[in-house]
Amino acid sequence: MKRIAILGTASSGKTTLAAALAQRYGTVWVPEYLREFVDTVERVPVETDQIHIARTQLEREAEAALRAQHLLFCDTTPLMTAVYSRHYFGGIDAQLAPLADAHPQRYDLTIVTAADIPWEADGLMRENEEVSITINRMLMEELSARGIPYVPVSGSVEQRVAAVADALAKL
């Protein structure tokens, strides 16, 4: 089974892309746990929540992998949690770092969604357009520093799905 990481800033179409890809390939996808966390606790996460969020995301991946059909599309990963931790809390927690470091071994393909769709506020989520620009820059820095190749996707959902399909064909 191949795991596909879908990374990007808030309101960049990660969830829509993950769902569309899962439908196209007849498999399952892993929703971003952070959304559920914020809805459940009715607040934005604090620094001490980051490791819980990343671990739960991985637990959800493991559960979904049991149901996946050859491909598993993951709407975010601990690497994205680490990027947000750097931005909001000034660093990556010692427990979170190894989870982020394992990205190249865990995922067979990394997709990065462009923020080229209309930005929409996401309930209690604190990010705005300005922060999204910063987060995107930080994500690109992390990917580069870690030597993680990625496929950028942009445009309509159909264009994004087609770009991922091309990348999957090359795996």
Over the stretch 89-135, which tens digit does the pLDDT of each residue have?
999 999 999 999 999 999 999 999 998 877 666 555 556 778 888 99
pLDDT tens digits for range 51-96? 999 999 999 999 999 999 999 999 999 999 999 999 999 999 999 9
Banded pLDDT at 10 (limits 50, 70, 90): confident
pLDDT tens digits for range 138-171? 999 999 999 999 999 999 999 999 999 999 999 9
Pairing of strands 28-30, 2-7: unpaired
CATH assignment at residue 64: 3.40.50.300
DSSP letter, residue 155: S
> Residue 103 sits in which domain range?
2-169
Among residues 83, 67, 65, 73, which one has the least CA distance to residue 22?
73
Segment 23-37 shows an average pLDDT of 96
Banded pLDDT at 11 (limits 50, 70, 90): confident
Task: For residue 101, give both structure tokens.
Answer: 């470091």
pLDDT at 132 (0 to 100):
85
Whether 75 contacts 31, CB under 8 Å = yes
What is the SS3 assignment for 88? helix
Report how far residue 169's alpha carbon sits from residue 171's, in angstroms, rounded to the nearest whole number: 6
What is the total count of domains within the chain?
A: 1
